[in-house]
Chains A and B, each alone.
Chain A
Amino acid sequence: NAGVTQTPKFQVLKTGQSMTLQCAQDMNHNSMYWYRQDPGMGLRLIYYSASEGTTDKGEVPNGYNVSRLNKREFSLRLESAAPSQTSVYFCASSEGHLGYGYTFGSGTRLTVV
């Protein structure tokens, strides 16, 4: 049982380049999320998808776009990468009931130079 799978695990981009971070879950969860983790700032929500076909902005959406391709997959796109987007990105999914929490992927470490 893979849970939440993120690809790639590591990436280095030049300023202005674009890329898509992929996320897939095999738990039949309705809700999916993208977070970024920066030192001293915890996990900040970028975008989320409460169900297939819907997406909404989180706390720090600027510079990102998302696509909920189907129930399993939720991708995060950086159209023109900036050094401020250097971070560790985590994808998560949930059944929707807060008491059960989220299941996270292992993360993508992105460096923009």
Chain B
Amino acid sequence: DQQVKQNSPSLSVQEGRISILNCDYTNSMFDYFLWYKKYPAEGPTFLISISSIKDKNEDGRFTVFLNKSAKHLSLHIVPSQPGDSAVYFCAPGGETSGSRLTFGEGTQLTVNP
């Protein structure tokens, strides 16, 4: 039972354009939705999060949108930069999941100069 799904294994965009990474989930009781970024040979690092009571959270070039009715989460990066090239994981969690995060499969983002 895969609770979190990132359907696009990879995404390629041009520098300066928008990158949109998507995530679908099945558990309607998740309280928080997080995005992590991972470079090769490094551990994942926290990028941005959103609470289930909000539908948008913005931090600089990064914005996360939450559509609870569709059980869909997206991360927008504007403008995209070559240094954004990494694997991005969505990771929701909540009391019903034991206050633990459940990670998606990840999306490899490549930003071309």
Residues of A that sit less than 8 Å from B by CB: 4, 33, 35, 40-45, 48, 50, 56, 58, 90, 92, 96, 98-107
Contacts and interface: CB of A to CB of B under 8 A. Distances in A.
Contact of A45 (B41, B100, B104, B106): B100
B9 A40 contact: yes
B106 A101 contact: no
Interface of B: 4, 6, 9, 31-32, 34, 36, 41-46, 49, 51, 89, 91, 93-94, 98-101, 103-106
A48 B43 contact: no
A106 B43 contact: yes
Contact of A101 (B34, B94, B98): B34
Contacts of B91: 43, 101
Contacts, number: 57
B89 A102 contact: no
Contact of B45 (A42, A44, A56, A104): A104
B107 to A, nearest CB: 10
B16 to A, nearest CB: 29
A49 B71 CA distance: 29
Contacts of B34: 98, 101
B42 A106 contact: yes
B67 to A, nearest CB: 19
A84 B98 CA distance: 27
Given A41-B105, A42-B105, A43-B103, A102 B49 contact: no
20 contacts: A4-B43, A35-B103, A40-B105, A41-B105, A42-B4, A42-B105, A43-B91, A45-B100, A48-B100, A90-B44, A92-B43, A96-B99, A98-B99, A98-B101, A99-B32, A99-B49, A101-B34, A104-B44, A104-B45, A107-B42
B9 A101 contact: no
